[in-house]
Amino acid sequence: MKSFSESYKEAGVDVTAGYKAVELMKAHVARTMTKGVMSGIGGFGGLFELDVTGISKPVLVSGTDGVGTKIKIAFLLDRHDTVGIDCVAMCVNDVICCGAKPQFFLDYIACGKNFPEKIAQIVSGVAEGCVQAECALIGGETAEHPGLMPEDEYDLAGFTVGVVDKDKILDPTTQKAGDVMIAIKSSGVHSNGFSLVRKVFSVTEQNLARHQSDLGTTLGDCLLTPTKIYVKAVMSLLDAVNVKSISHITGGGFYENIPRSLPAGLSAKIERNAVQVLPIFDLIAKTGKIPERDMFNTFNMGVGMAVVVDKNDADKAISAIRAAGEEAYVMGELVESDEGVIIC
């Protein structure tokens, strides 16, 4: 007999909708299967056999994050197949900063009401993100929370586990003055600073649908552009040169994130004119009359990852990143200073 409770349904939770959502998402999940997966979705835990071939001292690296208020844009546009990519990106882009390769991912969706087709759309994005990150979606949870949030709203978070050889964990203490900082280009706002974005543009469905000539698209399409997933580019880079540190430029922008991968006594001196700022950030600054210092302290400004290598390895590093399909360029160097970030 299939599980069903009329009383629970009257309280706002329809378990049959959950079963339908699982059936609809199975095809998306199947796209992410890698050789380490030992179980399908639906069990109490996701099983994954870790392949440690060539890894003498395996170290597990975990990361968790969500999509934040960017989800509000998805609500207004009624488009839910991209925020899952953001969720995966925010997690896997963190763990690769120490040199780890993501292995698997789990998601958590909390919703006011389970609309199976919408949940399947969300998971399709998660699956696409996992495919891009070359990791498996081995489980997750969809929780219906009537009374806790409006029926048509949801929140999305995720969790990933990667592995790295202990001897190959990036060591920021090897950095020195004169090392160069390479920018890997972002795809847009990614998934940070959207509370400020929504305030600046007084976001409504009508505003999002308006075509912006300086963006070459509608504001909504630009803002909903998924966060770049840098796994392939970074793995290729690690094989090509000696990478000293990697910073994922997320909330807090340059001033908060770059110092996290710098040792005491060194700062990143960034050439302002070298930074290839994307048009969306110029529009945000102009519309909101936001000082440049605040922009660089809130947004990625067109730089998704900042990588430090020896200056003699810069050209080789940029070539490896570009060969993996991403755009990269030198935006500064390390100097003796305790300021953290110097933009000049």
> How does pLDDT run across 100-109, given as a tens digit for each residue?
999 999 999 9
Per-residue pLDDT, 26: 85
Cβ neighbours of residue 221 under 8 Å, at least 6 residues apart? none
The tokens for 324 are 């993996």
Which amino acid would we find at residue 300? Answer: N
Helix (H) or strand (E) holding 86: helix 83-95
Beta-sheet pairing, 101-111 with 136-144: parallel
Which stretches of the chain drop beneath a pLDDT of 50? 1
- Check if 6-168 and 172-343 are the same fold: no
Task: Please give the pLDDT value at position 29.
Answer: 85
Domain 6-168 in this protein, CATH class: alpha beta
Domain boundaries, the chain: 6-168, 172-343
* pLDDT of the residue at 3: 66
Q: Which residues of 95-122 are buried (b: 16+ CB within 10 A; e: fewer)?
A: bbbbbbbbbbbbbbbbbbbbbbebbbbb
Q: Which pLDDT value is given to residue 13?
A: 65
- State residue 45's pLDDT score: 87
Residue-level pLDDT at 5: 63
Q: Does the domain spanning 172-343 belong to CATH 3.20.130.10? A: no
**3-state class percentages of the chain: helix first, strand second, coil last, to nearest 5:** 40, 25, 35
**What integer pLDDT is reported at residue 11 of this predicted model?**
61
